[in-house]
Amino acid sequence: MVLASSVYAQAREEYSLRPNQRFLVVHPTAGFLPFHVDSRAPFFLRYDRLLSVAGVTSIAAGGTVSSVQLFDSQSRDEVEVTKRNHVYHLFVGLTPPALKLFPEYPKGTAHRIPDNQSFLNTAKYGYVDGWQSPYEDPSPKGEVTLLWGRDTTGWVFHNPLTLAITQPFLKFDGYVYQVHVIRNVDLVQAMLEERPGSAARKLPLGWGLSGFTYEPREPYDADWIPLDWERPDIAEALTTRHTREV
């Protein structure tokens, strides 16, 4: 008999990228960023400081805490991407299972209103909960991609229960990718058009995100590329402007 935990572990690995693979980070309105994976390192985090960093003793029945950053005891964000040539590709699990997680991208920008809708409306309301992605074994439903930048990502937690949640926990499992931007214009155009032999995984930034501002020029020295751009526009988006290599 195959246990659920082994099924999810296999699924996470199948969703994860390996060195020399290409991928596109997907912005919901601005377009795509093309990357190549140079290497990867495992990322694992059990997080039990949610109430402390949110400044509350519980998440009240029907209540919500917003703009949470996952600080450690030294006030360092545990999931902040601190290197410009890194992208975090993670799967998050939650407990108790009813706890709902909404992303803020960037921190403080809410994209969906927490509510008590059923899991059938996940696409509309943009959350993941512990039923979909269990704490002990995060599933691909909890997939999230994090880009470089301080205060880039915040988290909203919603309690749909009639009782307060006093022991919320998170677990992140995934990889840190060391990357470089793909600047071969023909290759990037082929990736966007999904030509045979040029396939690339598309990594989502989170669940239910609407339009928001994230400027990739500073960390990655490239601009978002809309799907309908022609070759000259793609070339301009990929042209380096910094002296450092990214």
Is residue 33 in a domain? yes
pLDDT (0 to 100) of residue 6: 60
Is residue 8 in a domain? yes
Residue 245 has pLDDT above 70, yes or no: no
pLDDT (0 to 100) of residue 208: 65
Q: What percent of the chain has pLDDT over 70?
A: 87
pLDDT (0 to 100) of residue 108: 76
Question: Please, which pLDDT band fits residue 109 given cuts at 50, 70 and 90?
Answer: confident
Residue 212 has pLDDT above 80, yes or no: no
Higher pLDDT, 246 or 157: 157
Tell me the mean pLDDT in the region 49-73: 94
Is residue 244 in a domain? no
Is residue 57 in a domain? yes
Residue 183 has pLDDT above 90, yes or no: yes
Domain that holds residue 66: 4-238
Tell me the mean pLDDT in the region 77-86: 94
Q: What percent of the chain has pLDDT over 90?
A: 71
Question: Please, which pLDDT band fits residue 111 given cuts at 50, 70 and 90?
Answer: low
Is residue 218 in a domain? yes
Tell me the mean pLDDT in the region 74-86: 94
Determine if the pTM surpasses 0.85: yes
133-176 pLDDT, tens digit per residue, is 999 999 999 999 999 987 778 898 999 999 999 999 999 999 99
pLDDT (0 to 100) of residue 81: 94
Tell me the mean pLDDT in the region 61-72: 92
Is residue 190 in a domain? yes
pLDDT (0 to 100) of residue 154: 87
pLDDT (0 to 100) of residue 2: 42
Residue 122 has pLDDT above 80, yes or no: no
Domain tally, the chain: 1
Is residue 246 in a domain? no
pLDDT (0 to 100) of residue 152: 79
Closest CA to 176 of 246, 90, 92, 88: 88
